[in-house]
Amino acid sequence: MTQKLDPWKSSEISDYAKLFEEFGISPFADVLSHIPNPHKFMRRGVIFGHRNFESIVHALNAKKPFVVLDGFMPTGRAHFGHKMVMDQIIWYQQNGAMAVVGIADREAHAVRGLSWAECKRIGVEEYLISLIALGLDPNRSRLYFQSECLPVMNLAFELGTKVNLSELSAIYGFSGETHLSHMVSTVTQGADILHSQLLEFEGPIPVVVPVGADQDPHIRLTRDIASKMNLFLIEVRKDKDGKNYFSVRGKGAPEDSFLRIETQLKARMKTKFTAKVSKEHMDIFGIFEEADEEILRTAVQEIELELGGYAFIPPSSTYHRFMSGLTGGKMSSSIPESNIGLSEDPKSAAKKVMRSKTGGRATVEEQKELGGEPNKCSVYELFYFHLVDDDNELLQIQKECESGELLCGTCKKNAAEKIEAFLTDHQEKRRIARERLCEFGIQY
């Protein structure tokens, strides 16, 4: 297969390159080959970037526990744009993750003016029921409403002591007109991301947050605050011969902490190492194996926890493209014609597909001659993101479109049938999911 499934590559790559360079997001392609059975969004370049996904790759391969965390704001109906995120949550769960999902009702209430009852209804009816219907496993999931989650709120307050106005303004461009709770939302999201690592939940554990690139400021802020909260900072450095060594620094940790870490390493590591220990710092030479590095990180973590610290593992993130709206432009909950709701009538959804914007040419003749343009086609996006799991089948559609063989009418009809079938099935599953809410700890 020489042709690659990534129709946007040519048109949008410049924007992404900027993200990679300016903000330090890494290309997802770099880690893709290390992921066992990658999700179609990974294979197809829908997920194009990441931060620190290596720790999730490690967990996936070593079958170690990790967390996938995401949140939904309950202001309108859940549509296929949200399904994208739900699909990822479920994929991670099926591959060993604990799924933690927060409903941002506090913001929906305070900023968007919805009543608490309405926030609850939308959160459950639109989001949680569809998430469960899509296959969430109650045994490894925790669903919560922000307004009911004390640990998140208390942690958010604590995170807020580690970031000042100048830092927030630099990241988000806040000004004098910014209201206080807009700023608070940044650390609330930080607490959403980090709270699973509190001892009352999972303790220190890798966490991955699948988001759009627009959410990256929250990820950067959270990673930054997480390291500020920690007592110890572990860094890989290079000695004068260019060899890697580990540096462990402590902020206000008791003087004997580093000696205690050294003792732990001596007891556990098989490889010979040397440690240079001072009051607030230690350098460790001779660790080259991943297993040894893990012993080091575990030893530091244990001592930090004993000292009452958090030992947060910096969270990981992935960045996905967004689907376009059916009418072209942005997909938006507030424009019903631009999206298909997960609880929408299947027949009306099929009609929307028949009316949607395609990458077809002005005339049939032109299209037969020039071929269609799948990279401008919202129907192709439906196949690409949701309706076609098999890469070969998708490639076939793309080829036939580009060659002018497949015309928009046929293609739309195909998509409309698939949408109708999916929604009919999904809504039957939603009916069952509603009965199972209590299995997920949801009072409704």
Element at 314 (helix H, strand E): none
What is the sign of the dihedral through the CA atoms of 388, 393, 395 and 399? negative
In angstroms, what is the minimal distance from the CB of 303 to a second copy?
A: 17
Comparing CB distances to a second copy, the nearer of 4 and 251 is: 251
In angstroms, what is the minimal distance from the CB of 24 to a second copy?
A: 23
Comparing CB distances to a second copy, the nearer of 253 and 269 is: 253
CA separation, residue 252 to residues 145, 198, 230, 297 (Å): 35, 21, 11, 19
Binding site for a second copy (CB under 8 A): 106-107, 109-111, 115, 147-148, 150, 153-154, 157-166, 168-169, 174-184, 186-187, 308
In angstroms, what is the minimal distance from the CB of 280 to a second copy?
A: 18
Closest CA to 374 of 354, 404, 336: 404
Comparing CB distances to a second copy, the nearer of 154 and 348 is: 154
In angstroms, what is the minimal distance from the CB of 163 to a second copy?
A: 5
Comparing CB distances to a second copy, the nearer of 26 and 169 is: 169
Residue type, 251: K
* Residue 49, φ and ψ in degrees, nearest 5: -145, 170
In angstroms, what is the minimal distance from the CB of 124 to a second copy?
A: 18
Comparing CB distances to a second copy, the nearer of 163 and 353 is: 163
Comparing CB distances to a second copy, the nearer of 159 and 406 is: 159
Show the DSSP H helices in 331-435 as ranges.
346-354, 364-370, 378-382, 391-402, 408-435
Residues ≥6 apart with Cβ < 8 Å to 385:
41, 46, 80, 84, 323
List the strands of the sheet with 274-277, edge to edge.
232-238, 244-250, 281-285, 274-277
Buried b (16+ CB within 10 A) or exposed e, 49-78: bbbbbebbbebbeeeeebbbbbbbbbbbbb
In angstroms, what is the minimal distance from the CB of 158 to a second copy?
A: 4
In angstroms, what is the minimal distance from the CB of 232 to a second copy?
A: 17
Mutual orientation of helices 216-229 and 165-172 as an angle, nearest 10°?
150
By CB atoms closer than 10 A (0-12, 13-18, 19+), residue 432 is exposed
How far is residue 158's CA from residue 177's CA, in Å, rounded to a whole number? 24
Residues ≥6 apart with Cβ < 8 Å to 347:
420
Report residue 371 as tokens. 């071929």
In angstroms, what is the minimal distance from the CB of 223 to a second copy?
A: 17
Comparing CB distances to a second copy, the nearer of 53 and 72 is: 72
Residues ≥6 apart with Cβ < 8 Å to 354:
412, 413, 416
Closest CA to 156 of 108, 218, 206: 218
Comparing CB distances to a second copy, the nearer of 231 and 269 is: 231
In angstroms, what is the minimal distance from the CB of 195 to a second copy?
A: 14
Cross-strand partners of 341:
79
Identify whether the C-beta of residue 100 lies closer than 8 Å to the C-beta of residue 69: yes
Comparing CB distances to a second copy, the nearer of 110 and 407 is: 110
In angstroms, what is the minimal distance from the CB of 268 to a second copy?
A: 29
Comparing CB distances to a second copy, the nearer of 18 and 251 is: 251
Comparing CB distances to a second copy, the nearer of 179 and 268 is: 179
In angstroms, what is the minimal distance from the CB of 305 to a second copy?
A: 13
